[in-house]
Amino acid sequence: MKGIYVHVPFCKSKCTYCDFASFPKEIGKTESYFACLYREMEGRGKQLKNKTFDTVYIGGGTPSVVESKFIVGAIRQIKKQFNLSKNPEITIEINPGTVTEQKIKDYKSVGINRFSIGLQTGYDDQLKRLNRIHTAKDFLICCNMLKGENKSADILIGLADQTAEQVKKSIDLAIAGEVNHISMYALTPEVGTPIYTDYLNGLLPSGDEIAELYDIAREYLSQKGFERYEVSNFCKKGFESKHNLNYWQRGEYIGLGVSASSFIDDRRFTNTFSIDEYMNAIIYNKAPEISSDIIELEDAKFECIMLGLRTEKGVDKKQFNQEFNCDFDKEYKNAIDKKGEYLINTPTKISINPEYLYVQNDIILEFMK
C-alpha cells in the first residue's frame, strides 16, 4: 500500500497547542501556493509513474478554510499525474467552523470519501481556551451535513482541568455525530506554542494523570463499539484509516507541499517549512527538500518494530524475517527477555500487552540496537 499526503498550510487562527506548519497571516498566498503545489504534483508524478497509490490525505493547517476550487484542483491534478488504485481512500481534514454545504458537495464531486473532523473537545469553554474557531454545536451541524459519509473525529486529552467525565462527554458528542473513527491524542505542549506557558506554570495534567484519562477513555470507547487498532486510534470494525495504517506498516508515501514528509525507495525526505522558500524552489524547478536520508538496514529494522508495536496487531515475525533475512527471536532475544512481562510473544508475532500500549516508548527503545 502507498499513500499521498498534501499539506494545506492555511488556517483562520492558530490553536494554542499547534506546532504544525500553519500560517493564518499567509492565506493571501493561497492561489500562488496551490499553483506551485500543482506543479510539484506534476514533477513528482513523473518521478513516481511506476508506482500505484491507494490513499490520498489532505491535511494542514485547515484544508477546509480555503475555497473548495483549490481542493478540487488538487484532487484533479493528483488523478492526472499519479496512478491511483481503483477505489482509493481520499480523506480531507475539516474544521467545523469553516465548512459549508457547497464545500462538501464540491469535495464529494471529485471523490473525497472520508472526512476527518477536528472536534478536540465537546466543551465550548475549553475550545475557546484552545483558540478553536468552532463550538460543539458547530461540530454537530457539520456532522449533519456529512450524514451517511465516512467520518472521523479528533479528541484531545490532557487539557487544563479536564476530567474523565468531560472526556467521556466529548466521546459521546462524537458518537452523536455518527462518526466511525475517533483519534484520541494526548496534548503535547511544544516549546514556542502559547499552551507551553500553561505547562511551565503547572496548569496541565501530569503524565500519570493523562495516562489515567487515556485508560478510562479507552475502556469507554470499547463499550461504545470502538476498538483500538493503534495507540491513538479507535474505530468501528472495518473503518480503520487506510492512510495511517500505511504509515504504521512502513509503507511508502509521497508528501506534497510545505513541511510534507516522504518515504520512497528507502529514502526519507522533508520539504521546507517556509511557504516562500517552497514556492521559490518550485518556480526555479528545484526540489523543495530541506532534508534527505537513505534508511540503512538497522534503522529500517527498528522503524518496522517501532511502528508495528504501536498497533494492536504488533509485528509479524515471518514477514519481518523475510524482509530483513534474519531471525527476529534470536536477534532481539535480550529485548524480549528484558521486557517480556509487557509483551505478548508468540511464534508468529510480537505485540505489547494492551494495558501497556499507551506507555510503549520505554518498551520499544529496548529494541534499538
Residue ranges of the domains in the chain?
A: 2-247, 314-365
Q: Which long-range contacts (CB under 8 A, 24 or more apart) does 281-287 make?
A: 282/36, 282/39, 282/40, 283/36, 285/43
Q: What is the reported pLDDT for 94?
A: 96
Cα gap 161→198, rounded to integer Å: 11
Q: What is the reported pLDDT for 225?
A: 97
Q: By the 8 A CB rule, do 247 and 304 touch?
A: no
Cα gap 179→187, rounded to integer Å: 21
What cell does 4 get?
A: 499521498
Q: By the 8 A CB rule, do 152 and 115 touch?
A: yes
Name 4's bridge partners: 56, 254
How many CB atoms sit inside 10 A of residue 252's CB?
17
Cα gap 271→266, rounded to integer Å: 17
Q: What is the dihedral of CA 48, 49, 51, 56, to 10 degrees?
A: 70
Peptide bond into 61 cis (omega under 30): yes
Q: What is the reported pLDDT for 189?
A: 63
DSSP assignment of 283-335 equals HTT---EEEEEE--HHHHHHHHHHHHHTBSS-EEHHHHHHHHTS-HHHHTHHH
In 3-state terms, what secondary structure has residue 175? Answer: helix
Distances from the Cα of 212 to the Cαs of 109, 167, 229, in angstroms?
Answer: 43, 11, 19
Cα gap 324→308, rounded to integer Å: 15
How many CB atoms sit inside 10 A of residue 255's CB?
23
Burial 218-242 (b: 16+ CB within 10 A, else e): beebeeeebebbbbbbbbeeebbbb
Domain covering 2-247 assigned CATH 3.20.20.70 in the classification: yes
What cell does 53 get?
A: 497509490
In 3-state terms, what secondary structure has residue 227? Answer: strand
Q: What is the reported pLDDT for 195?
A: 63
Q: By the 8 A CB rule, do 193 and 206 touch?
A: no
Interstrand relation of 289-294 and 52-60 (parallel, antiparallel or unpaired): unpaired
DSSP run (H or E) holding 93: strand 83-94
Burial level of 50, CB count in 10 A (0-12/13-18/19+)?
Answer: exposed
Peptide bond into 73 cis (omega under 30): no
Residues in the chain, overall count: 369
Q: Given the C-alpha cell 482541568, which residue does it identify?
A: 161
Burial level of 287, CB count in 10 A (0-12/13-18/19+)?
Answer: middle
Q: What is the reported pLDDT for 194?
A: 65
Kindly report the backbone phi and psi dihedral angles of residue 293, in degrees, each rounded to the nearest multiple of 5, phi listed first.
-140, 135
How many CB atoms sit inside 10 A of residue 78's CB?
24
The pLDDT profile of the chain, 369 residues, written as one tens digit per residue, is: 999 999 999 987 655 565 566 666 778 999 999 999 999 999 999 999 999 999 999 998 899 999 999 999 999 999 999 999 999 999 999 999 999 999 999 999 999 999 999 999 999 998 888 888 889 999 999 999 999 999 999 999 988 889 999 999 999 999 999 999 999 998 776 676 666 667 666 667 788 888 999 999 999 999 999 999 999 999 999 999 999 999 999 999 999 999 999 999 999 999 999 999 999 999 999 999 999 999 999 999 999 999 999 999 999 999 999 999 999 999 999 999 999 899 999 999 999 999 888 878 889 998 886
Q: What is the reported pLDDT for 16?
A: 58
Rounded to two decimals, what is the model's pTM? 0.93
Q: What is the reported pLDDT for 24?
A: 66
Tell how far CA 69 is from the center of its chain.
24
